[in-house]
Structure formats: C-alpha cells, structure tokens
Amino acid sequence: MVDHINVMNLLRMIVEIKTNPYQNDRDIYTSLGFSRAAFYKYRKYLAEKMDFSFRYSRSKKQFLIEKEQFIPTLNLTLGEMSSLVFSMGQLTASGGDYIVSYRAYKAVQKLISQYPKPSIREKLAILLSETLRNQGYGTKEEILSTIENAIERNKILEIHYHSVSSNAENIYQVDPYIIYFKKRALYMDAYSRAHESIRMFRIGRIKKVRICEGTGFEIHKDYSFKKQHQHAFCVFGGEKTQKVRIRFSSKVADMIQEVLWHPSQKILKENSSGSILFEVEVAHPPEVIWWMRQWGAEAEVLEPEEMREYAKKIALEEIQLYK
C-alpha cells in the first residue's frame, strides 16, 4: 500500500512526464526532488499497478508513453459538452499557460470525436475550431493539425511566417518540437534551420505550412522545455537573463507581495514609508516594464538604466497623445 505522500509523488511524476517529456531520468527525479531509487520504484509501481508505463527514447531525446489507462467517455449532455468547449476559451483567455492547457484542448477534442450524434459532433467540432480562431488565438485547425502530424512523425516543416517587427512573410524550415499555450495564444518551440537555434513561433502567425516528406530530425540533446521557458516573465524565454528592479509605492505594495509573479522574484522593504523594491532575473526585461505599467505612477523602474529610459520613452509618447 502506497501512502498519501507517495500517491502525490506518483501523480507529480505522471504530470512531469506528460508535460515536459524532453528530459532524461536524472533531470526528472532531480526536478521533483526524488532520489534515483525512488524514481525507479515509482516507475515500477506506475507500470504494474496503474497501467502507466513509459520509456526514454534516445533518438527522440524524450520520454514516450507506452501505456496509459483509458477512461471511457462519460454520458455528457449537449449542454455539458458545449460548456466544455466554451471553457477552453475561458481557460486560455484567463492566461492558462503551457502544455497543460494545450492538453486540455486535445482532451475536449477527443470527447467531441466520440459524441454519438454525427450532426451534433460536427457542430461541436466547428464550435471548438471557432473558439480557437476567434477569441484571439488566430489559429487555423488545418495548420495546427499539420504541425501536430509533423511532431508525431519527426518531420521537418516548411512554414510561411508573418514577422510583426518587419511586417514581412518569411519562409523557414523548422524541426517542430512541442505546442503549448502562453498568454492567450498557441506557440510552437522549433529548431529553426535558418537561425540555427531553437525559436518560439506563434502558430497564429503561420500562414502556410507544409510537411517536407522524406525528411526527419532528432531533438537537440540539450533541449528542455522547462529550461527554455524558466526565465520568461510572461512569454519570451531564453538562457541569458538580466536583473530588473522596480520600486512600488505603499499604495500597491500589498498587492505585489501577495502574488508570486516570477520564481526569481525578491521583494525588500525599502523604508518606513511602506514602499518596496521588487527584483527579478528574466530573459526579456521589456515584459516586466509592460506588466508594471498597470500600476501607473505607483511603480518606478530603477534598473537597468536602459529599461528606465524605455519606460520614460513610453510615458512621454503617451503624454503626446493626450496633448
């Protein structure tokens, strides 16, 4: 009999394998705080008692699930199914992040595919597709399906990608790794052959996509979804980080302190006035500036100097708008 703590560890292990497969054994048991012996004990228990087995693929550089218990579709009413579809819009619109939200979307898709009445099944599928496309995700089902197909088969993709910065459509060949939600949009991590590095692509900006048949690729051995995104304050990740420090007045200090905005955050009481110093180490400092501006004059950028100048520039441009 496994005790309550071990059961929680089993569940944590399942979630980690499913949501962050691009790790090796050591990465997983280290990140979960297990010993090597505990990892293999839990793995054996999952396979023998819970019909959940997995293995590490050296060629794909990831864990593959070999067996997973199937839960039959419940006898859901049309109203309940519709509510699930609409809840996907609410989940991602509220900032539902990363692979968990994407897997929830896939689960709803599976439930729809098993609805008994074909005419209603078709309408629910259209409703889910429209929810994704119209609520700010800008994702076409056929493009998403092609990307999923390429990921499953380890095939290189040719994508026509709209660049917001240059307002141009660029063609790239990429090795697609994984799909996930971030801040109300679907993204893909992929190795870009043009950039010779792993890049984030917003799927809504992919205008055309084609699988390059006869091709294949292997996941880079040093790729880890967790490591790639751990330094993102909101969306943009990366290995290099920079410290950002902000002073918040006493009026908003409590609201800042009661939330963990980023794993790296440090908060210090500045003086008897009640103001605080908020500090984070992030990959893309402008995201911190965009976030802090919701508190207006109650927030002041202290460092780095270029971010202080950036915040000042935005403020001056806004003043010009209202003259």
The terminus-to-terminus CA distance of the chain in angstroms comes to: 72
Q: How much of the chain exceeds pLDDT 90, in percent?
A: 38
Q: How far apart are CA 96 and CA 180, in angstroms?
A: 10
Check residues 33 and 158 and name the one with the higher pLDDT: 158
Structure tokens at 70: 């199937």
Q: How far apart are CA 159 and CA 174, in angstroms?
A: 8
Structure tokens at 14: 């399942």
pLDDT at residue 203, as a whole number = 92
Which of 156-160, 162-166, 246-250 is the least confident region?
A: 162-166
Q: Is the pLDDT of residue 116 over 80?
A: no
Q: Is the pLDDT of residue 242 over 80?
A: yes
Q: Is the pLDDT of residue 64 over 50?
A: yes
Q: Could you give the 3-state DSSP secondary structure of residue 227?
A: helix
141-229 CATH fold: SH3 type barrels. (2.30.30)
Q: How far apart are CA 318 and CA 298, in angstroms?
A: 17
Q: What is the mean pLDDT of residues 251-275?
A: 90
Q: What mean pLDDT, rounded, does the chain reach? A: 84
- What is the phi-psi region of residue 238: left when phi exceeds 0, alpha when psi lies from -120 to 50, beta otherwise? left
pLDDT at residue 79, as a whole number = 66
CATH architecture of 4-67: Orthogonal Bundle (1.10)
pLDDT at residue 1, as a whole number = 41
Q: CATH assignment of 242-321? A: 3.30.70
Q: How far apart are CA 37 and CA 235, in angstroms?
A: 36
pLDDT at residue 25, as a whole number = 86
* Burial of 185: CB neighbours in 10 Å, binned 0-12, 13-18, 19+: middle
pLDDT at residue 62, as a whole number = 83
Q: Is the pLDDT of residue 137 over 70?
A: no
pLDDT band at 172 (very low <50, low <70, confident <90, very high): very high
pLDDT at residue 202, as a whole number = 93
Q: Are 306 and 288 in contact (CB under 8 A)?
A: no
Q: Are 158 and 210 in contact (CB under 8 A)?
A: yes
Each residue's pLDDT tens digit, 70-111:
656 566 766 667 667 767 666 655 555 556 667 777 778 788
Q: How far apart are CA 292 and CA 315, in angstroms?
A: 12
pLDDT at residue 4, as a whole number = 45
Domains in the chain: boundaries:
4-67, 78-137, 141-229, 242-321
Q: Is the pLDDT of residue 296 over 50?
A: yes
pLDDT at residue 315, as a whole number = 93
Check residues 274 and 116 and name the one with the higher pLDDT: 274
Q: Are 84 and 111 in contact (CB under 8 A)?
A: yes
Check residues 1 and 302 and name the one with the higher pLDDT: 302
Residue 212 CA, chain-centre distance (Å), reads 26
Q: What is the mean pLDDT of residues 40-59?
A: 86
Check residues 36 and 58 and name the one with the higher pLDDT: 36
Q: What is the mean pLDDT of residues 128-136?
A: 61
Amino acid at 198: I
Q: How far apart are CA 92 and CA 185, in angstroms?
A: 8
